[in-house]
Amino acid sequence: MLKYLIEKEFKQIRRNSFIPRIIVGMTLMMMLVMPWAANQEVRNIKLCVVDNDKSSLSGRLVHKLASSDYFITRSTAATYSEAMKEIEAGRADMILEIGNGFEEDFMSNQGGRAMISVNAVNAAKGGLGAVYLNTMLSDFAAEIAVQSGPSSLPFSCSAAAYNQAVSQTPDNGQTRLSGMPAAMPASITVVEQTSGQGYLSSPVSVQTLSASFTIIPHYKFNPRLDYRIFMVPALMVMLLTLLCGFLPALNIVSEKEKGTIEQINVSPVGRISFVLAKLIPYWIMGFVVFSIVLMLAWWVYGLVPAGSLLTIYIFAATYILVVSAIGLVVSNYSGTIQQAMFLIFFFLIIFILMSGLFTPIRSMPEWAQAITIVNPLKYFMKVMRMIYLMGSSFGDLNGEYLSLCIFALAMGSWAVLSYRKRS
Amino acid sequence: MKQMLAFIRKEAFHILRDRRSMMILLIMPVIQILLFGSALSTEVRNVKVAVVDPSKDEVTAVIKERIKASEYFEIVGNLDSPEMINDAFNEGRIDLAVVFSSGFAEGLVRGDAAVQLIADGTDPNQASLLTGYASGILSSYASEQLGGMLAGALIRPEIKMLYNPQTKSSYNFVPGVLGLIMMLICAMMTSVSIVREKETGTMEVLLSSPMKPIYIILAKAVPYIILSLLNFISIMVLSVTVLDVPVRGSFLLLLGISLLFILLCLSLGLLISTLVKTQMAAILASGMGLMTPVMLLSGLIFPIASMPGILQGVSTLVPARWYIQAVRKVMIQGVGFQFVSLEVLILSLMTLVLLTLALRKFNMRLN
C-alpha cells in the first residue's frame, strides 16, 4: 500500500508545474548567486579625508590611502562638518581628519594628530574599518620613520589609539572595543605566515628596539580567510531546510483545502503509512538535490569536504527527516494554506537566523544560546562546516548526531500523532 | 463609498475570522524583533582559548592572567603539546590557541620569543577580529614593559564611533528586520488572499457585483495596510523601550517612508497574484522569490559594498534595500528629508511601476 501512496505523491509533485521550477530555481540561486552575496568581508570603504594640515607629509598620507584596496578615497572635504554631510548623505563611510600641524608634530616626535570618525550603524563594518585605517596609519608612520633614519624614536601609533579606544567607550557594562584591537606597537613584530585577507595581513612589520616578542597569527582550516568556504556548506543546509521544510508544510494542508484528504480519511490507510508516504518523497528529493549541490560546490568552487562524504550523507539523511517532519506537523495543525505558510515562515526564519549561519552563536546572550539547543538547523550547520573545513570525523560529532536522531524521532512521532482522520 | 466600506468590512472579517493567522501576524513581528534585536550580534564574545605554555614562567603567567581577565576570552584549558591543538579544534572545543615559544622569559631578553595565535579561520571576520583582540592584549602588555620608551608616538589617531558609540549590533538589525517583516506581511498576505478568492471561486461572485474591479482590489488592501501599521508601531515601541534603539530623526518622516514601502509591497503582492493561479504558487513565489533576496541582497546582513558589481546592480532592484537604507538613515543617523530623497524617489518610482503593471495585468474577467 505504501508503494502506491508514494507513487501518488510523486505524481502530484510532478504534475504541479510550480514545484519542480522552484526546486531548480532555488538550487541554482543558493549555489551560484548566494555565495557571492553572502560575504561579510569589509571592503570598498568610502573614505572622506579632511586635510587641515596641507603639508607634504599629509599629502603623502592621502596618496597612500588612495592607493589602498580597502578604501575608496572618493572625496575630500574642506571642513569636518562638510565631511559629516557626506556621511549623512551616504557618500562616505568614514572620515579621516588630519590635524593642524600634523607634519610638524610628527617630525618633532610629538605625535601627529588625526581623528578617525566611522559610521558605526553597522557595528562590525565600522569596527573593522577603523581597524584597517588604524593599521594603515601605523604602517605609514613606520615607513616614514624608516626613511628618516635610525635616529627616530620608537612609535606606538596604534597603542595610543588602542588605549584611547578603551577609554572612549565608557558606557557601563557595555564597554567593548568592538573591532579596534589592532594595537601593534613598535616592540612587537607581526609576522604574517599565510597571505590572509584579514587586516593583520597588511604586514605591520616594525623593527624591534629592545626586549620583544613576535606575534604570529595563523588561521587554521581557512588560511586565506575566504568567506565563500565558510558560507557554501551553510547555504547547502539552508537550501535543504527551505525545500524539505517548506514543501511538506504546504502538502497536507493543501489536500485539506482541496478536499482530497477526505478520500484518504475514508480509506483504510493508517496514520503511520500516511505520514511515511508523505515523508519519503521529500526524503528522496532532498537526497537528489543534496547530491547535486555537493557536485556544484565541487565544480564551481572547487570545494570538497575535508572529512568523509559518508558522514555528510548520514547526517543529511537524518536532517531531511527532521525538517520534513516539522513541515508535516505544521501542516497537520493548520486549517488553511495561509496558516501553514505563516507558521512555517515563523519557525524557519527563527531557525535560520539563530543557527549561526550569519552571526556566531557564541556572540549571542546566554538565554538566546539556550534557545538554540532546540534548533536542529544549528547542529547540521555546525556539522557541515566542521566536516567541510575541519575534516572532523563521525566520532567528533557523536553528540550532534544523537541530537539530530532525537529530533527526528520526536518530530516524526509528533507528525504521526497529530494527523487525525476526524476533523 | 458605502459599497466600498462594506467590502472593506468583508475583508476585515476574513482576516479576523482566522484567529490563528491573526495571532501569528501580530505576535510574529514582536517575537522576531525581540529575538533578533538582542540575539543577532557579530560581537566577539565567549571565545574559548587553549594555551600551550611549555615554559610556564612568570611572564607567560602574567599574560595568561591578562587574557583571562579580558571580557572576550575564557581560557578553557592548558594543552601540553601543539599536537593536541588539532584535536581540540576538530572536536569544536576551542576557538583560539595561544602558543608560547619555549623559554619565553629568557627569549624575551634574547629577542627570539614568539607567540603564535592559532585561530579557527572558518569564520573569517570572527577569526581576524579575535586574533586582533588577542594581539591587542599582548601588545599592550609589551608596551607597558617598554614603558617610557614609547612616549613619542608618531601618529595619534582619535577614534570616534559615530551614531553607535556602544557598537551595538541591534542598531543595524532593527531597520533590517522591519523591512523583512513588512515585506512578509504585505506582499505575501495580499497575493495569497486574492489568489485564494480565485481558487475558491468567490472572485467570480465579487466581479459580478456592481463594484468596479479596481475598488475590489483597493478594499482588499485597506485591512492589510492597517495591520502593517499596527505592526510598524509595535516594532517601533519595542525597539525604543526594550532594545534601546533610538529614533533620532523625525518619526513622521519614518512613518511616511514606511507607508510608501507598505504601498509598494501591496502592489508587489497584487502583481504576484495576477501572475500565478494557485495559493501554493503565490506563497512559493512571494515566499522564496522575495524573502531570500531581502535577506541576502538588501544589506540586512551582508554589506552591499562588498558584493561583486553584478550583484550590486541586482540589489538596486530590491525594494527592501532602499527602504532599509532610508530607515537606517532616519532612525539611527537622524538625518532629515533631503538626505533620503533619493531613496524616497526610487521607492516611489518602483511603486508606480509595480502598481501600473499589476493593474494592467489584473483581469477584469476570469477566463
CB contact under 8 A, A153 and B152: yes
What the block records as the C-alpha cell of A35 is 555565495
| C-alpha separations of A6 from A13, A24, A394 in Å | 11, 22, 32
**Cα separation, B117 vs B102, whole angstroms:** 15
The answer to whether the beta carbons of residues B171 and A128 sit under 8 Å apart is no
Q: Looking at residue B309, what is its pLDDT?
A: 84
Segment B163-204, tens digit of pLDDT:
877 777 788 888 888 888 888 778 888 888 888 888 888 877
Angle between helices B251-275 and B189-200 (to 10 degrees): 30
Q: Which residue among B43, B114, B339 sits closest to A214, beta carbon to beta carbon? A: B114
CB contact under 8 A, B171 and A121: yes
The tens place of each residue's pLDDT in chain A, 423 residues long, gives 788 888 888 888 777 777 888 888 888 888 888 888 877 777 778 888 888 888 888 888 888 888 887 788 766 777 888 888 888 877 888 888 888 888 887 777 667 788 888 888 887 778 778 877 877 787 777 777 666 644 434 433 444 444 444 333 333 333 333 333 333 333 344 444 333 343 343 333 333 333 456 677 777 787 777 788 888 998 899 899 988 888 888 888 888 888 888 888 888 888 888 888 888 888 999 999 999 999 999 999 888 888 899 999 999 999 999 999 999 999 888 888 878 887 888 888 888 888 888 788 888 888 888 888 999 999 999 899 888 888 888 888 888 999 999 999 999 999 888 887 765
Q: How far off is chain B from A168, nearest CA to CA, in Å?
A: 8
Q: Which of A30-44, B141-155, B330-344 has the lowest mean pLDDT?
A: B141-155
What the block records as the C-alpha cell of A157 is 601609533
Q: Is residue B350 scored above 90 in pLDDT?
A: yes
The answer to whether the beta carbons of residues B286 and B187 sit under 8 Å apart is yes
**Cα separation, A335 vs B70, whole angstroms:** 53
Q: Looking at residue A164, what is its pLDDT?
A: 40
Q: What is the DSSP string of A327-380?
A: HHHHHHH-SSHHHHHHHHHHHHHHHHHTTTSSS-GGGS-HHHHHHGGG-HHHHH
Taking one residue from A and the other from B, the number of pairs with CB-CB distance under 8 angstroms is: 453
> To probe the interface with B, which of A213, A330, A358 has the most B CB atoms within 10 Å?
A213
Q: What is the DSSP string of B180-240?
A: HHHIIIIIIHHHHHHHHHHHHTHHHHHHTSSS-HHHHHHHHHHHHHHHHHHHHHHHHHHHH
The answer to whether the beta carbons of residues B302 and A35 sit under 8 Å apart is no
Q: Looking at residue B259, what is its pLDDT?
A: 92
CB contact under 8 A, A197 and B124: yes
Segment A86-107, tens digit of pLDDT:
888 778 888 888 888 888 877 7
Predicted-complex ipTM score: 0.75
Q: Looking at residue A335, what is its pLDDT?
A: 83
Q: Which positions in chain B touch A133 (Cβ < 8 Å)?
A: 157
Q: Looking at residue B144, what is its pLDDT?
A: 66
CA of A349: which chain B residue's CA is closest? B32
**Cα separation, B181 vs B183, whole angstroms:** 5
Q: Which of A160-174, B99-113, B121-135, B325-339 has the lowest mean pLDDT?
A: A160-174
**Cα separation, A67 vs A58, whole angstroms:** 14
Give the closest residue to B76 by CA, choosing from B53, B103, B96, B102: B96
Give the closest residue to A316 by CA, choosing from A341, A344, A352, A292: A292
Q: Looking at residue A314, what is its pLDDT?
A: 94
Handedness of CA A342, A345, A351, A354 (dihedral sign): negative
Phi-psi category of A223—alpha, beta or left, where left has phi over 0 and alpha has psi -120 to 50?
A: alpha
Place of cell 541582497: B297
CA of B304: which chain A residue's CA is closest? A37
The answer to whether the beta carbons of residues A238 and A38 sit under 8 Å apart is no
Segment A9-38, tens digit of pLDDT:
888 877 777 788 888 888 888 888 888 887
Q: Looking at residue B154, what is its pLDDT?
A: 57
CB atoms under 10 Å from CB of A170, counted, come to: 10
For residue B101, the 8-state DSSP code is: P
Q: Looking at residue B145, what is its pLDDT?
A: 66
Place of cell 482541496: A258
Q: Is residue B83 scored above 60 in pLDDT?
A: yes
Q: Which residue has the higher pLDDT, B331 or B19?
A: B331
Average pLDDT estimate for B137-147? 67
Q: Which of A124-128, A172-176, B241-245, B268-272 has the lowest mean pLDDT?
A: A172-176
pLDDT confidence band for B364 (50 / 70 / 90): low
Give the closest residue to B100 by CA, choosing from B53, B139, B63: B53
Q: Looking at residue B38, what is its pLDDT?
A: 78
Q: Looking at residue A290, what is its pLDDT?
A: 93
CB contact under 8 A, B157 and A141: no
Q: Which residue has the higher pLDDT, A413 or B301?
A: A413
Q: Of all helices (H) and strands (E), which one includes residue B356?
A: helix B337-361
